[in-house]
């Protein structure tokens, strides 16, 4: 088994191999002038595993993203994609070799973090990735979907001024790209959706391949400040994503979607479980939460740089004993946070927490409480209050979320 880096000439064999690994056929350009997601592969960044006869048997790809961290810092991050090994060549170490080469190349690029969306949750922990954001599906029966009048004094008047317009996705791509870009810069856990994705109409952003309508929200001055992407089929409205950082705009879009004629139920595919939307329903049980699942998985490649890059919202100090068995590294770090900034230096002080690099990835964006991993038996707290200190320290300014599918 050999691992080699690809070039543009390898696009066809790369696309064929990854689709064979998933037992799928490569999609062709969709209707409505659409592109296909594989057109966005960065062929100067991908890897092929080849058998003795030179045949490609495995793939691993990477996108060049920017990731927004708690506090608003934005760092270049590789988004791992297109990982697959032919069914005839599984369990012989191809994936392990691909992951090793990939992590080495990410470090050579000087990146301190890598991210992915996992096809199966059992695959990536061994390579140091941990689940860091979460979403669920919220299904609202339209007849139980009335929104409550906000109880806080003044909140009703704060309803988003502006308008919602229905647009075919192909007619408003520029506005969507702008809205998405503003959103992802303010949302911890969000990744950039590179211009080339929009330009290629790869996967027909946002997200789904099938034709979609867009509910585009504009503020009082007519500037687009939020959108929802949706389709209606047999009385069911499926909403792929609602993109806005403004809660009032979010509510205006939901009000619009729930008010749509000829719809019995609205399925919001990716809503964070702690989103205030459920509280906005007059009938708290009018929304059913299902499909609670992990979103973005995070892998730290450089612990001190990753920890000092994000913003912090409480002062404190922790000694972290971090084990990275896949890369054969074990280090102890003193993390000190003062006035929103962290220092992280090697130390030989007694540890407060001992944890695997994948668990540090899980808590890094503030979406997984360290105490939960202590209670689950994965993180070891060496003194009783260490877990609570870590919970306070690692919390983010807003819950992390990644709505970009890659």
Ligand X SMILES: CC(=O)SCCNC(=O)CCNC(=O)[C@H](O)C(C)(C)COP(=O)(O)OP(=O)(O)OC[C@H]1O[C@@H](n2cnc3c(N)ncnc32)[C@H](O)[C@@H]1OP(=O)(O)O
Q: Are 127 and 116 in contact (CB under 8 A)?
A: no
Instruction: Tell how far CA 306 is from the center of its chain.
Output: 17
We find the least distance from the C-beta atom of residue 364 to ligand X, in angstroms, to be 18
Decide if 124 is catalytic: yes
Q: Does 358 bind ligand X (CB under 6 A)?
A: no
Nearest in space to 2 (alpha carbons), one of 40, 76, 58: 58
Nearest in space to 316 (alpha carbons), one of 292, 344, 282: 344
Binding site residue list? 83-85, 91-96
Supply 324's token pair.
């990275």
Q: Does 81 bind ligand X (CB under 6 A)?
A: yes
Q: Does 19 bind ligand X (CB under 6 A)?
A: no
Q: Which of 37, 63, 124, 183 is catalytic?
A: 124
b vs e for 286-296, b when ≥16 Cβ sit within 10 Å of the residue's Cβ?
A: bbeeeeeebbb
Which segment (37-45, 122-130, 163-171, 334-342) binds ligand X by CB under 6 A? 122-130
Which residue's CB is nearer to ligand X, number 92 or number 278? Answer: 92
We find the least distance from the C-beta atom of residue 109 to ligand X, in angstroms, to be 18
Please list every residue from 124 through 183 that binds ligand X, using CB under 6 A: 126
Which segment (2-10, 75-83, 151-159, 172-180) binds ligand X by CB under 6 A? 75-83
Which segment (35-43, 87-95, 141-149, 298-306) binds ligand X by CB under 6 A? 87-95
Binding site residue list for acetyl-CoA? 83-85, 91-96
Decide if 364 is catalytic: no
Q: Strand 47-50 relative to strand 2-5: parallel, antiparallel, unpaired?
A: antiparallel
Which residue's CB is nearer to ligand X, number 95 or number 355? Answer: 95
Which residue's CB is nearer to ligand X, number 296 or number 306? Answer: 296
The CA distance from 228 to 346, in Å, is 46
Q: Does 265 bind ligand X (CB under 6 A)?
A: no
Nearest in space to 245 (alpha carbons), one of 269, 275, 267: 275
We find the least distance from the C-beta atom of residue 89 to ligand X, in angstroms, to be 7
We find the least distance from the C-beta atom of residue 86 to ligand X, in angstroms, to be 7
Q: Does 21 bind ligand X (CB under 6 A)?
A: yes
Position among 7, 96, 273, 290 found at the interface with ligand X (CB under 6 A): 96
Supply 313's token pair.
């919202």
Which residue's CB is nearer to ligand X, number 63 or number 198? Answer: 63
Question: Phi/psi at 366 (nearest 5 deg)?
Answer: 90, 10
We find the least distance from the C-beta atom of residue 94 to ligand X, in angstroms, to be 4
Question: Phi/psi at 261 (nearest 5 deg)?
Answer: -70, 160
Which residue's CB is nearer to ligand X, number 65 or number 333? Answer: 65
Q: Does 116 bind ligand X (CB under 6 A)?
A: yes
Q: Does 92 bind ligand X (CB under 6 A)?
A: yes
Instruction: Tell how far CA 51 is from the center of its chain.
Output: 33
We find the least distance from the C-beta atom of residue 188 to ligand X, in angstroms, to be 21
Q: Peptide bond preceding 334: is omega within 30 degrees of 0, i.e. cis?
A: no
Position among 62, 82, 202, 243 found at the interface with ligand X (CB under 6 A): 82
Q: Does 20 bind ligand X (CB under 6 A)?
A: no
**Tokens 């934005």 -> residue:** 74
Q: Does 80 bind ligand X (CB under 6 A)?
A: yes
We find the least distance from the C-beta atom of residue 48 to ligand X, in angstroms, to be 13
Nearest in space to 115 (alpha carbons), one of 56, 184, 181, 48: 184
Position among 62, 94, 202, 258 found at the interface with ligand X (CB under 6 A): 94
Q: Does 83 bind ligand X (CB under 6 A)?
A: yes
Q: Does 56 bind ligand X (CB under 6 A)?
A: no
Q: Which residues of this protein are in contact with ligand X, per CB under 6 A? A: 21-22, 80-85, 90-96, 116-120, 122-123, 126
Residues with a known catalytic role: 124, 406
């Amino acid at each position: 088994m050999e691992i080699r880096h690809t070039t543009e000439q390898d696009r066809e064999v790369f696309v064929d191999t990854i689709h064979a690994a998933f037992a799928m056929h490569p999609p062709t350009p969709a209707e409505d002038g659409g592109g296909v997601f594989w057109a966005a592969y960065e062929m100067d960044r991908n890897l092929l595993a080849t058998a003795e006869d030179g045949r490609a048997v495995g793939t691993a790809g990477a996108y060049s993203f920017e990731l927004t961290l708690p506090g608003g810092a934005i760092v270049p991050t590789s988004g791992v994609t297109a990982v697959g090994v032919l069914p005839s060549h599984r369990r012989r170490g191809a994936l392990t070799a691909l992951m090793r080469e990939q992590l080495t190349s990410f470090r050579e690029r000087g990146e301190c973090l890598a991210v992915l969306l996992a096809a199966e949750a059992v695959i990536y922990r061994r390579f140091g990735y941990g689940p860091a954001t979460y979403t669920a599906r919220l299904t609202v029966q339209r007849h139980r979907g009335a929104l409550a009048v906000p109880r806080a004094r003044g909140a009703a008047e704060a309803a988003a001024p502006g308008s919602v317009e229905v647009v075919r996705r192909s007619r408003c791509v520029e506005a969507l790209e702008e809205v998405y870009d503003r959103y992802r810069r303010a949302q911890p856990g969000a990744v950039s959706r590179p211009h080339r994705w929009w330009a290629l109409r790869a996967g027909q952003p946002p997200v789904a391949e099938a034709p979609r309508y867009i509910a585009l929200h504009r503020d009082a001055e007519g500037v687009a400040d939020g959108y929802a992407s949706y389709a209606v089929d047999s009385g069911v409205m499926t909403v792929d994503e609602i993109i806005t950082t403004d809660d009032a705009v979010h509510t205006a879009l939901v009000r619009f979607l729930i008010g749509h004629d000829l719809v019995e139920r609205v399925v919001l595919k990716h809503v964070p479980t702690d989103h205030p939307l459920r509280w906005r329903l007059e009938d708290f049980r009018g929304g059913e939460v299902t499909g609670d699942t992990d979103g973005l998985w995070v892998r730290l490649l450089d612990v001190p740089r990753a920890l000092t890059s994000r913003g912090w919202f409480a002062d404190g100090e922790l000694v972290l004993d971090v084990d990275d068995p896949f890369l054969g590294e074990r280090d102890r770090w003193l993390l000190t946070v003062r006035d929103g900034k962290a220092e992280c230096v090697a130390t030989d002080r007694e540890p407060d927490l001992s944890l695997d690099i994948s668990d540090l990835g899980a808590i890094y964006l503030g979406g997984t409480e360290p105490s939960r991993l202590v209670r689950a038996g994965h993180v070891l707290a060496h003194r009783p209050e260490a877990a609570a200190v870590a919970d306070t320290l690692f919390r983010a300014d807003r819950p992390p979320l990644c709505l970009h599918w890659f």
